[in-house]
Structure 1
Amino acid sequence: MDYPGPSFARSNELQSRLHDMVPGGAHTYARGDDQYPEDMAPIIERGLGARVWDADGNCFVEYGMGLRAVTLGHQYGPVVDAVRDALTRGVSFTRPSTLEVAAAEDFLSLVPGAEMVKFAKNGSDATTAALRLARAVTGRDLVAVADQPFFSTDDWFIGATGMPGGIPVPARHEAVRFTFNDLESLQTAVAAHPGRIAAVFMEAATGLVAPDPGYLRAVRDLCTAEGIVLVFDEMITGFRWAAGGAQEVYGVVPDLSTWGKAMGNGFSIAALAGRRELMERGGLDTDDERVFLLSTTSGPELVGLAAFRAVAEAYRTTDPVGTMRRTGGRLAAEVNAVVDDAGLSDHLDVAGDPSCLVFRTRDAHGLPSQEYRTLFLAELLRGGVLGQSFVVSAAHTAADVDLTVAAVAAALPTYAKAIELGTTDGLLEGRPVAPALRPHATPRRRAAVVG
């Protein structure tokens, strides 16, 4: 740390103002300044491609790309043009629009096995609607949830996390956890609650873990045999693994699937899709008791639908997934090479699916460490790289990768010094980052005195 790096004076002032007005200083916990080194959390003014500029005028190569919602790049021309055109026609009407017809046709043409779709504005609405539908169809109350990070902001899921404040005690026991890629753990969960599991929720793949051969098919068969609704959460895998999500890649069709993030390239749109006989329970072509499925004022507004249609066209006519995989593959290989050359492979590496990479930081004993993660994040920021991961987009260029590899190389001497000392003391300024979902504001309580 023998060079000053960028100034964050304006960002810090804006962040303080945000904390005075917005709980947590951000509208998404993952965007909070407690996820970044202290006094080094940029407030963004604009983005273009894979670059962003903050309130202090600093330019960064951005990874994560809007929490993995942007795969085509910031200000991607065709999406911007489609949105601009939609704005000239009005955005919300008393009756459905012609754009709803076209968007639904686009979606169903891309997603294998989906027979009906309903649009919404955020993923939690879609996942909770899927659970409500599964409960109505099965007459059961519990949900089996894979041990993966996040599925919903609603009680049924948050009650089972480390941040259950405000969730009624009964709701804290609605979700039964099982281990992904361990069929026996799911079988055990089902057997432990006979006749009570309405749905199985899982991501069919994650950035770090692909399904074992035959695993998804075995889960599909188990759910069918037990009368359980299988739900794939495609919030991240949709339009990142493939336009049709992980279910397209692995060839296993769930009963329901939930979508969001990259389907709008950053514009707000989500979806619940699935088999007609299930989805129609929220419609008019059923004699069964109806389900209040999704009914949102802004779900079908034209801007989000127009953005989605432009995204769908980009995936039909170009190869964003292939581009992301090639770029991510090169990034991982070159970063791991410079880390290996520095003799730090036991303490730092890049891993995961090429389109959804993470960097893993470990201390002098080889154990995962928030302190060392924070030290690495700070050094990356000084080198012009912003990101809690190395999740790429199709807009990341060879120059962006070159800059990132150079920033990692520049960060390694400080990281190596911390490994040599066995501590980040004297190298890390301020407190380390903390898990986003935690029951108390400490260790990053705003009013705490540092030093």
Structure 2
Amino acid sequence: MRTPDLPHSREANKRLHDLVPGGAHTYAKGEDQYPEGLAPVISHGRGAHVWDVDGHSYVEYGSGLRSVSLGHVHPRVTEAVRAQLELGSNFVRPSRLEIDAAQMFLATVPTAEMVKFAKNGSDVTTAAVRLARAATGRDLVALCADQPFFATDDWFVATTAMAAGVPRAIADLTVTFPYGDLPAVEALFAEHDGRIAALVLEAATQADPPPGYLRGLRELCTRHGVVLVFDEMITGFRWSESGAQGVYGVTPDLSTFGKALGNGFAVAALAGKRELMELGGLRDHRERVFLLSTTHGAESHSLAAAMAVMQTYDREGIAEQLHVLGTRLAAGVRAAARAAGVADHVVVRGRESNLVFGTLDGDGQPSQAYRTLFLRQLVSGGVLGPSFVVSSALSDVDLEYTVDVVARACAVYRRALDAGDPTPWLGGRPVRPVFRRYA
């Protein structure tokens, strides 16, 4: 594959670094996440395709960090937003749309009794933590250590390699546990008996939870008076419209949704039991909680987008479509890897609606260098894929094209393995982990 020339993207990246710390407003979109010289800056998108400022087109995966599950410029969403913009976006009092959106959300996620909207996942997940602390009178938060991201706030960032600026006193209030290990959670509760306010985790990530695990967590949290919080940022509207809780039949006390809820528009939701949520309201005798109070939390065009998304999922069976598309893509990628003799090194993981790929070296260990090689071949071939997370806008042609590009990438991967060194195929420094102590 011929490496595309990206002079305008290179200049735009330089300007971004001059103006924006990190060169992007989200670290996971940073230039360091892509091979050197191959970090295209996007001009526009439509459906499952995006175009960079140099005029190259790409089949896109993981759109908007998994938020654009219907594809860019989806007609139903765009029309709903356009119509609402003609009516105003923000008023001095709630709009009628806030009732309609709340009713539709609670019908879509029937395990929740109340909902409050915001603009991003960090806000609602931190609100869940604050609510749990207020309800229990406890300070500690138990966080799943095997899952990558929960919030930009101190209670979570303290657990990462980028904890600079977080006071030690705050860091000491977060404890961690491994996913899938009930005895570990029981031991954690015993170690911090009566001090843990909330247990926060994604109900599922790369695989279904072990049998009985979520029900076991539910029972442990109930027994110890701990608020169970499911982060449904990814699982919501990808596992099902009602999230992982709808798939696995376990109801958390609180849950947080975002990403695919708005198909790229900024909207998130904190949902849960009325008994807890009313602590942030005006109809409860207990001490009030400053739950969520954001100027733009109920921006009407974002709520209109969320309602259009929920309607589209319901009418078109989008969750099922995502699983079907992911199944076909995974099969094609695995077949291409087998044909090139790299099936043990280029691996596809995850639920069909949320696929990622692993790049392993000759010893079978995860390798940033081999990830760089693979990404370089993908981008050069016109596939912008930090993951293989699908959108419903992908066509049969898109999938076939992607598998063809993957096949050619796997052939290069095989050559690098045979040489015992991927360096000649990297084109520069390897891609870097998001969370690292130094730039």
TM-score (norm 1): 0.96
1:361-440 alignment, distance < 5 Å: 361-440=359-438
Q: Which residue of 2 aligns with 1:290?
A: 288
In the alignment, is the contact (CA less than 8 A) between 1:133 and 1:291 conserved in 2?
yes
Equivalent in the alignment of 1:260: 258
Q: 2:208 aligns with which of 204, 207, 210?
A: 210
- Unaligned runs of 5+ residues in structure 1 are 442-451
- 1:239–1:262 CA contact under 8 A, matched in 2: yes
Give the C-alpha shift of residue 21 in structure 1: 0.3
Contact 2:64 2:264 in 1 (8 A): yes
1:106-185 → structure 2 map (5 Å cutoff): 106-147=104-145, 148-185=147-184
Q: CA shift at 1:413, angstroms?
A: 2.2
Question: Aligned residue for 1:323?
Answer: 321
Shift of 1:212: 1.1
Between 4-13 and 133-142, the greater mean CA deviation after superposition: 4-13
Please report how far the alpha carbon of residue 209 of structure 1 lies from its aligned counterpart in structure 2 after TM superposition.
2.4
- Choose from 55, 60, 68 the match for 2:58: 60
Q: Report the alpha carbon displacement of residue 18 of structure 1 after superposing the two structures with TM.
A: 0.3
Give deviations 1:157-213, integer Å, cap 9, x for gaps. 00111110100011112211111111011111111111110000010111x121111
Distance 1:5 1:218 in 2: 51
Q: Residue 305 of structure 1 aligns with which residue?
A: 303
Q: Is the 8 A contact 2:267 2:306 kept in 1?
A: yes
- Is 1:232 paired with 2:243? no
Q: Residue deviations 1:191-242, cap 9 Å, x none?
A: 1111110000010111x12111111011001000000000000000111111
| Cα distance between partner residues in 1 of 2:188 and 2:342 | 40
Counterparts of 1:423 and 1:129, CA distance in 2: 47
Give the deviation of 1:334 after TM superposition: 1.0
Return the alpha-carbon distance in structure 2 between the equivalents of residues 307 and 427 of structure 1: 43
- Note the aligned Cα RMSD (angstroms): 0.8
Q: What is the CA-CA distance between 1:7 and the residue it aligns to? A: 1.6
Give, in whole Å, the separation in 1 of the partners of 2:202 and 2:71.
Answer: 24
The number of residues matched between the two structures is: 438
Q: 2:339 aligns with which of 327, 338, 341?
A: 341
Q: Which SS does the other structure have where 1:296 is aligned?
A: coil
**Residue type of the partner of 1:204?**
A
Q: Does 1:219 align with 2:211?
A: no
> What is the SS of the residue equivalent to 1:299?
coil
Task: Indicate which of 70, 73, 84 corresponds to 2:71.
Answer: 73
Where in structure 2 are the equivalents of 1:436-451 lying within 5 Å? 436-441=434-439
1:39 deviates by 0.8
Q: Which residue of 2 aligns with 1:245?
A: 243
Shift of 1:411: 1.1
- Residue matched to 1:269: 267
Cα contact 1:146–1:179 (8 A) shared by 2: yes
How far did 1:341 drift? 1.3
Of 345-354 and 119-128, deviating more is: 345-354
Measure, in 1, the Cα distance between the counterparts of 2:424 and 2:251: 53
> Aligned partners of 1:425 and 1:106: how far apart in 2?
52
Identity fraction in percent = 57
**How much does 1:315 deviate?**
1.4
Question: Following the alignment from structure 1 to structure 2, what is the Cα–Cα distance between the partners of residues 427 and 179?
Answer: 36
Deviations 1:65-120, CA, capped at 9 Å, x for gaps = 11000111100000000000010001000000000010000000011221100000
Partner amino acid for 2:315? T
Letter matched to residue 142 of structure 1: L
Instruction: State the distance in 1 between where 2:34 and 2:3 align.
Output: 16
* Aligned amino acid, residue 400 of structure 1: D
Distance in 1 (alpha carbons) for counterparts of 2:242 and 2:409:
38
Aligned partner of residue 231 in structure 1, secondary structure: strand
Question: Which residue of structure 2 lines up, in the alignment, with residue 51 of structure 1?
Answer: 49
* Contact preservation (8 Å) 2:68, 2:264: yes
CA–CA distance in structure 1, aligned partners of residues 110 and 96 of structure 2? 23
Q: 1:200 touches 1:228 (CA, 8 Å); kept in 2?
A: yes
CA distance in 2, matches of 1:174, 1:47: 42
What is the rounded CA distance, in whole Å, between the counterparts of 1:369 and 1:183 in structure 2? 30
Amino acid at match of 1:130: A
Q: Distance in 1 between matches of 2:111 and 2:407?
A: 46
Decide which of 22, 25, 37 is 2:23's aligned counterpart: 25
Give 1:387 shift.
Answer: 1.4
| Partner amino acid, structure 2, of 1:160 | T
Aligned to 1:188: 187
Partner of 2:91: 93
Shift of 1:339: 0.7
Partner amino acid, structure 2, of 1:175 = T
2:200 — aligned with what? Answer: 201
Separation of aligned partners in 2, 1:424 and 1:169: 41
What is the deviation of 1:376?
A: 0.3
Once the two structures are superposed, what CA deviation does each residue of 1:311-365 show, in whole Å capped at 9, x if it has no partner? 1111121111111111110110111011111111121121211000011101111
Please give the secondary structure, in 1, of the residue aligned with 2:141.
strand
**Alignment partner of 1:355: what SS?**
helix
Question: What is the identity, as a one-letter code, of the residue corresponding to 2:197?
Answer: A
Q: CA deviation at 1:248?
A: 0.3
CA contact (8 A) 2:118 2:298 kept: yes
Counterparts of 2:188 and 2:152 in 1: how far apart (Å)? 23
Deviation at 1:425, TM superposition (A): 2.0
Give the 3-state SS of the residue equivalent to 2:288 in structure 1: coil
Q: d(CA) in 1 for partners of 2:64 and 2:423?
A: 32
**C-alpha contact (below 8 Å) 1:364/1:423 kept by paired residues:** no
Aligned partners of 1:237 and 1:245 also within 8 Å = yes
Q: Distance in 2 between matches of 1:123 and 1:197?
A: 22
- Kept in 1, the 8 Å contact 2:369–2:423? The answer is no
**C-alpha distance in 2 between matches for 1:107 and 1:412:** 43
Q: Deviation digits for residues 274-297 of structure 1, max 9, x if unmatched?
A: 000100001011110000000000
